[in-house]
């Protein structure tokens, strides 16, 4: 079997790089800037002015709802005349997923500038597609990774600390899932066997997050740019991103996706907050009960969900809805052919028990 490893062409991280290293974002003479109104006011307008001084025209596009098929096609139709020659995605997960999808449809280079270290989406050749109502629909696989990922930690440090904690939870799922994919002899998200490099990166990601995660969140709260904060930002975005894509996903993310079918307060939680409980559930599914206390204790220190009550989930109907969605054809829970809706329900109930205060 062929091994495949994917990565962005260039990754740049550090304080002030949005200004000092903006040349990396000049992928053409006219770019679409995919962002939201708030991020535009914080740094998007200033970036557009800076690029204009260098002869690069920027046309902003403000996200209306979700990274949905409707939103993607709206932006594609607006830019089919060939006047635009690159895409710049600035912001959180919605902007990044939307920007990557539009660049794929228009066959244009894309630069990604995350404004929080809350997920590992920036480096991957994958977009998560939601319905206009915010329900998970599918993963969209692109033909290449972003051309440049630029991470300005002076901007990231200003984001709410719970977003960093969410990114840590997303990153801690990486090795748990990659390990399971390797153990079952399954393929990564690129359609090949995980490389030794991907496995090592995923394991290093977990090591850094357990070692520096709590310290980095405190640094975020106090707005201190420290080596610990820089290390955790890199682990959340780069190590986790390379690890999950080239290593593979398993049950933890499938369970998070399953939660998208629910309504109510659970949808006020971030991707990483949901993934945290998905990771506990996967550990139970695999019979790795001895590892659960370490994750539960760490999650509690970071204020992450460890049980169903923390997720505002209750009732057998909700658990069945999650489990059914988490096991639809094509979901990453099928890294193990023995995973069934009932096994996921049983594992969620056991994880809930182990994650009680």
277-320 pLDDT per residue, tens: 999 999 999 999 999 999 999 999 999 999 999 999 999 999 99
CA dist 93 and 80 (Å) reads: 24
| Dihedral angle, C-alpha 61, 62, 64, 70, nearest 10 ° | 20
Residue 3 lies in a domain: no
Is 90 exceeded by the pLDDT of residue 132?
Answer: no
Length of the chain, in residues? 357
Residue 94 lies in a domain: yes
Residue 129 main-chain phi, psi, to 5 deg: -105, 130
- Of 156, 187, 206, the residue at which a domain comes to its end is 156
pTM of the model: 0.94
- Domain enclosing residue 170, as ranges: 161-354
| Dihedral angle, C-alpha 275, 269, 95, 48, nearest 10 ° | -120
- Is there a single domain that holds both residue 106 and residue 229? no
Residue 2 lies in a domain: no
Domain count of the chain? 2
- Of 156, 177, 196, the residue at which a domain comes to its end is 156
89 contacts 113 by C-beta, under 8 angstroms = yes
Residue 303: left if φ>0, alpha if ψ -120 to 50, beta else—which one? left
- Is there a single domain that holds both residue 286 and residue 341? yes
pLDDT, tens digit, for every residue of 249-281?
Answer: 999 999 999 999 999 999 999 999 999 999 999
- Is there a single domain that holds both residue 177 and residue 118? no
- Is there a single domain that holds both residue 180 and residue 292? yes
Residue 56 lies in a domain: yes
**What integer pLDDT is reported at residue 131 of this predicted model?**
73
- Is there a single domain that holds both residue 231 and residue 203? yes
329 contacts 337 by C-beta, under 8 angstroms = no
- Is there a single domain that holds both residue 277 and residue 138? no
- Is there a single domain that holds both residue 60 and residue 179? no
- Is there a single domain that holds both residue 172 and residue 141? no
Q: How confident is the model at residue 68 (pLDDT cuts 50, 70, 90)?
A: confident
Residue 98 lies in a domain: yes
- Of 135, 156, 177, the residue at which a domain comes to its end is 156
pLDDT, tens digit, for every residue of 194-246?
Answer: 999 999 999 999 999 999 999 999 999 999 999 999 999 999 999 999 999 99
Question: What element of type H or E holds 241?
Answer: helix 240-247
**What integer pLDDT is reported at residue 56 of this predicted model?**
96
- Is there a single domain that holds both residue 198 and residue 333? yes
Residue given tokens 């984001």 in the structure block: 159
- Is there a single domain that holds both residue 174 and residue 83? no
User: Which token pair is 103?
Assistant: 């660049």
Residue 6 lies in a domain: no
**What integer pLDDT is reported at residue 116 of this predicted model?**
97
Number of alpha helices (DSSP H) and beta strands (DSSP E) in the chain:
15, 8
- Is there a single domain that holds both residue 225 and residue 141? no
In CATH, what number is assigned to the domain containing residue 94? 3.40.50.1970
In CATH, what number is assigned to the domain containing residue 266? 1.20.1090.10
Residue 173 lies in a domain: yes
- Is there a single domain that holds both residue 189 and residue 300? yes
């Amino acid at each position: 079997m062929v091994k495949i490893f994917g990565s962005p062409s260039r990754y740049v991280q550090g304080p002030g790089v949005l200004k000092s290293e903006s040349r990396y974002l000049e992928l053409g003479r006219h770019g679409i800037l995919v962002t939201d109104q708030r991020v535009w006011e914080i740094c998007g307008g200033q970036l557009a002015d800076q690029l204009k001084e260098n002869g690069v025209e920027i046309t902003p596009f403000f996200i209306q709802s979700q990274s949905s098929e409707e939103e993607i096609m709206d932006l594609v139709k607006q830019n089919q005349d060939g006047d635009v020659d690159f895409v710049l995605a600035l912001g959180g997960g919605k902007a990044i997923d939307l920007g990557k999808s539009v660049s794929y449809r228009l066959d244009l280079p894309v630069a990604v500038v995350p404004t929080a270290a809350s997920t590992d989406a920036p480096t991957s050749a994958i977009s998560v597609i939601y319905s206009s109502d915010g329900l998970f629909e599918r993963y969209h696989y692109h033909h290449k990774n972003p051309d440049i990922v630029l991470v300005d930690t002076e901007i990231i440090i200003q984001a709410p600390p719970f977003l960093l904690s969410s990114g840590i939870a997303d990153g801690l799922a990486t090795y748990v899932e990659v390990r399971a994919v390797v153990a079952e002899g399954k393929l990564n998200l690129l359609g090949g066997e995980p490389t030794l490099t991907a496995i090592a990166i995923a394991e290093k990601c977990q090591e850094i997050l357990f070692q520096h995660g709590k310290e980095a969140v405190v640094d975020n709260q106090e707005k201190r740019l420290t080596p610990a904060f820089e290390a955790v930002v890199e682990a959340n975005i780069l190590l986790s991103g390379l690890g999950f894509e080239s290593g593979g996903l398993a049950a933890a993310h499938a369970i998070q996706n399953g939660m998208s079918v629910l309504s109510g307060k659970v949808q006020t939680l971030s991707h990483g907050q949901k993934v945290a409980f998905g990771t506990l559930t996967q550990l139970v599914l695999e019979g790795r009960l001895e590892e659960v206390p370490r994750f539960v204790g760490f999650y509690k220190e970071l204020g992450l969900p460890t049980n169903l009550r923390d997720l505002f989930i209750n009732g057998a109907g909700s658990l069945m809805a999650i489990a059914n969605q988490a096991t639809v054809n094509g979901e990453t829970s099928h890294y193990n052919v023995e995973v069934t809706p009932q096994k996921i329900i049983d594992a969620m109930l056991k994880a809930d028990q182990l994650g009680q205060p």
